[in-house]
């Protein structure tokens, strides 16, 4: 067998046996760390069809920014902005029935009186992609015979 210098010096040994060799068993083992850059689209998990609606007008200044860490991941794309209600969606919330007893700020003066109200909904488009290196130690061993 000609290995023509394709080995690491000191990694092989050989001794001449007293009798002719009819079979040689060879075992080769290699260990390494397998790493891959992984991306995860978090935004698609936060929003349906790329947007979400809320009753709050929120200050999004604390939304993760590019380069910041989210757990063991690094933010590589981050964008959130207010949009008009998508086609077919009511800009108002479902109807709520409230009483003067529960919230005097609604302008109901008669105790026990009720009023139906709807709240303005705010819609936001969101894109949030994180990346990280996923690594795993690997070891492969191969055994074969040379006759």
**pTM attached to this predicted model:** 0.55
Taking the C-alpha atoms of residue 119 and residue 94, their distance in angstroms, rounded to an integer, is: 8
Query: Average pLDDT of 21-48?
Result: 88
Neighbouring residues of 56: CB distance < 8 A, sequence distance ≥ 6: 122
Helix (H, G, I), strand (E, B) or coil at 28: strand
**30: which 2 tokens?**
């290699």
Query: Average pLDDT of 74-82?
Result: 92
User: Comparing 31-35, 114-118, 132-136, which segment has the lowest mean pLDDT?
Assistant: 114-118
User: Comparing 22-36, 71-85, 109-123, 126-140, which segment has the lowest mean pLDDT?
Assistant: 109-123
Query: 80-117 pLDDT, tens per residue?
Result: 888 888 888 888 888 877 776 656 566 655 666 777 88
């Amino acid at each position: 067998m000609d290995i023509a210098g394709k080995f690491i010096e000191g990694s092989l040994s050989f001794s001449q046996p007293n009798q002719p060799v009819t079979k040689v068993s060879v075992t080769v083992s290699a260990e390494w760390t397998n790493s891959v850059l992984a991306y995860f689209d978090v935004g698609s998990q936060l929003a349906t069809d790329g947007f979400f609606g809320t009753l709050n007008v929120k200050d999004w200044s604390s939304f993760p920014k590019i380069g910041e860490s989210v757990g063991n991941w690094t933010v590589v794309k981050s964008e959130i902005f207010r949009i008009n209600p998508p086609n077919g969606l009511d800009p108002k919330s479902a109807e709520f029935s409230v009483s003067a007893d529960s919230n005097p700020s609604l302008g109901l003066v008669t105790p026990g009186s009720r009023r139906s109200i709807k709240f303005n909904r705010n819609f936001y488009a969101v894109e949030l992609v994180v990346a990280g290196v996923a690594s795993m130690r690997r070891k492969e061993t191969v055994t074969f015979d040379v006759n």
